Structure 1
Amino acid sequence: MIRNGLSRISLPAIVSSSSTAVSSLLDSTFPSYRTPTRFEPASVVDALDVDCQPPSKVAAEPTVLQPRVVIYDGVCHLCHRGVKWIIKKDKDKKIKFCCVQSKTAEPYLRLCHVDREDVLKRFLFVEGPGAYYEGSTAALKVASYLPFPYSALSAMLILPAPLRDAAYDYVAKHRYNWFGKEDECIVMQEKDLLERFIDMHELLDNGGGASD
């Protein structure tokens, strides 16, 4: 008898009755609860308080900095020779470059808590977040990314930094007198190298001149 009685009760009726009961219980227990009946995109957006306004100019600017970037004195002939040498040996194009005279360099300088004058004394190698080096240590860190045998130069990191930097600083102090300098970034004289520069577009727009 019971079996026959159940067979006469349709499944949709049971589901509908159960849903109504659950909904009533939730309404009485949680007055703010509303049983969802269908997916409503507009309601979801409102609930999340998503700002649908066009992004501001500031928000549209890139915020991700690139790793393994050499920031150097772009008007220095000795520095430019060093950059050319690295580009020639760095077949895998691991290292990128940026003239310290460019505005593109500014986020990197802020990240490393240095200014342009610091970089004019000792070039900067930004390896990644929280990892940056100056002077002789920067040079040897860059060498570590080059193919063998040039990567073996990084073994000189075992030498005391004050000793290495003393030699570096002496050459850096006299580099303009010994090797000369230009009024604009020297890479503009060899534009085939620009593909390795993160400030390429800025240099092309400004003609290689230093930014204010």
Structure 2
Amino acid sequence: MNDIYILLYDGECGFCNYWVNWVMRNDKKGVINFASLQGDFGQNFLSKNNLPLDKFNTLYLIHPNGKTYKKSDAILKIGSLLKGWYKWFGIFKIIPKVIRDKIYDLVAKNRKHIRTDNCTLPTKEQRARFIN
């Protein structure tokens, strides 16, 4: 399948891992693969884009054509890819990006203090969707 998006996330953040698992469970068509920002793929992405190699507070979603979504734009795009009622995430586009990203930054700043009790191991099929 050529239309695979890649979601880059902080692989050492429990909150981020919780949401990666959530996306994986809800991505019925398997159009999103995953890579941690700390891994080779993530570090290469950060390096190529002249981004800090040690700051992992931004979520990136790479479109198959190379376009990159980040922060709240990435979340809204993920919602549109998941279909179902999640496609309605797009309604939040009416909120100016500067405000959406301020909210995103507030959550990102506090994400390591947000308790998540869900720590599941991916299945063999799910593991195949992770890129090193």
- TM class by shorter-chain length? 0.7 to 0.9
* 1:68 aligned partner, one-letter code: Y
> 2:38 — aligned with what?
101
TM-score under structure 2 length normalisation: 0.82
1:152 aligned counterpart, secondary structure: helix
1:153 aligns with 2:89: yes
- Counterpart among 23, 27, 51 of residue 90 in structure 1: 27
> 2:72 — aligned with what?
136
Structure 2: which 5+ runs fail to align? Answer: none
- CA displacement, residues 22-48 of structure 1 (integer Å, 9 cap, x when unaligned): xxxxxxxxxxxxxxxxxxxxxxxxxxx
Structure 1: which 5+ runs fail to align? Answer: 1-65, 181-186, 200-212
Paired residues in the alignment total 126
1:195 aligns with 2:97: no
Higher helix proportion = 1
Identity within the alignment, %: 28
How many angstroms does 1:126 deviate by?
Answer: 0.9
How many angstroms does 1:171 deviate by?
Answer: 1.1
TM-score under structure 1 length normalisation: 0.54
Larger radius of gyration, structure 1 or 2? 1
Question: Greater relative contact order (Cα 8 A, min sep 6): structure 1 or 2?
Answer: 2
How many angstroms does 1:150 deviate by?
Answer: 0.8
1:127 aligns with 2:63: yes
Does the Cα contact within 8 Å between 1:108 and 1:126 map onto a contact in 2?
no
Runs of 4+ that moved beyond 3 A: 110-113, 115-118
Take 1:124 and 1:72, find their aligned partners in 2: how far apart are those partners?
Answer: 7
Higher strand proportion = 2
How many angstroms does 1:130 deviate by?
Answer: 4.2
1:116 aligns with 2:53: yes
How many angstroms does 1:174 deviate by?
Answer: 1.1
